[in-house]
Chain A
Amino acid sequence: MTQAYSNPLQIIIDEFKNISPEIKRTFVFKTNGEIVACNETTTDDQSKKLATTFLNLSSKAEVIGGIETLTIQGADSQLNITSTNNNYYLTTVSSRSVDVKIVTSLTRVIIPTVMTLMDEISSDTSDNELPQNVESETKPTEEVILSPQEPISNESATEVQATFSSDPPLPQPPVTQFMVEKIGGLLVPSDTVRVDSGVIKKWSDLYGDIQITQIHIETLEGKTTTCKFRPVKEADINAKGIIQIPEKILQSLQTSKGKLVIVKPVITQS
């Protein structure tokens, strides 16, 4: 798993300085203190000492539910440690003049997304590999000798072919990031969120006649839910990039106003 993470993470971390030159140091460590990826300006000693100090602090932070982020602001520089979704911690050291939005995007969106993808790829690979190994160990090959007179049945082959549709496969649901806004009121249904209408139009364009009635919402902490949606009312002209969520769903996602969530449409192929 570590090796699977290490290379893509290393590549991304090396790119941080190109995306935002104010980010001077970046590295990722695990909850056991192992350094998974590290940029060239950070020494082993620095990263290991920081990991040790942080993990020691984290072990005493149960009273606040563990540490999700730590930010230390010095006179000119700041250090940020963010817990990603898989027991990994991303550390950045940057100047105070850094664009906070860029850092937030990198630390709270890009890296967790890459890790999630790596997890999925890793689990897919192991899912595909494991049954083959088990089969080869447990089921010895059986040879079936057919008599020349016995016709070979094409039934199973036909069945397999029938399961393939002539329709082209649907595109993967696009993932969009939104900032959370709370919505309330007497006429607001508690099971329905409101989404930027521009994004809904893109989904409609992408999937054509397929009716999309639900969306999948995921917080950066990994809480997920599926619910109905509507476009944001036209009166809300500043609704670009915004998802309006009623209290009940906010609670179930354990998120709040101003937080980022990742949304994708639920596509059911009829």
Chain B
Amino acid sequence: MKQKTSHSQEETEVTSGVGSLPVGGENSAFASLSASLEEIRKLKGVIGYIIRSNNSAIVDLPGSDKISEYALLTSEIHESCENIKNQFNLGETETAIIEGKNVKVLCLSVGENRISVLMEKDANHAWIIKRILL
């Protein structure tokens, strides 16, 4: 299930599974990253992804029952990592990897775009990072 939403409507639209707005034309990085993520999505072991900018968001995750939970979690990961980074002077955060029991989440920021890729635990996240940052 792939959804494009405006940022202000993101939560309601993602959870309700309706609504679609075109990707902001002024954010070419967003468009380029979205294209890369669309290719990454086809890789074995990749479950889905979420990309958000200030104006737009794309959620491509299977099923509809867990989308809001994933969206909430990835948003929280980005926020928490930002806090932790500042607390421990880690410098500019490049990536964050969170491994759960079944799923691994890769989070990274490229400019104003926040990317989260959900994958199976044995998927090669290093390769995906390279692919995104190409």
Contacts and interface: CB of A to CB of B under 8 A. Distances in A.
Interface of A: 25, 46, 49-50, 53-54, 56-57, 60-79, 93, 256-258
B98 A70 contact: yes
Nearest to A62: B69
A108 B122 CA distance: 17
B1 interface: no
A56 B70 CA distance: 15
Interface in B80-97: 80-81, 83-85, 87-97
B105 A71 contact: no
A64 B76 CA distance: 13
A74 B94 contact: yes
A71 B84 CA distance: 11
B97 A71 contact: yes
A60 B66 CA distance: 12
Interface of B: 66, 69-70, 72-73, 76-77, 80-81, 83-85, 87-105, 118, 121-122
A64 B102 contact: yes
**Pairs of residues from A and B, 6 with the lowest C-beta to C-beta distance, nearest first:** A65-B101, A64-B100, A74-B90, A75-B91, A74-B91, A63-B69
B99 A69 contact: yes
B117 to A, nearest CB: 13
A73 B93 contact: yes
Contact of B85 (A63, A74, A258): A74
A74 B108 CA distance: 11
Contacts of A78: 90
Given A54-B80, A79-B84, A256-B122, A66 B98 contact: no
Contacts of A62: 69
A256 B87 contact: no
A202 to B, nearest CB: 30
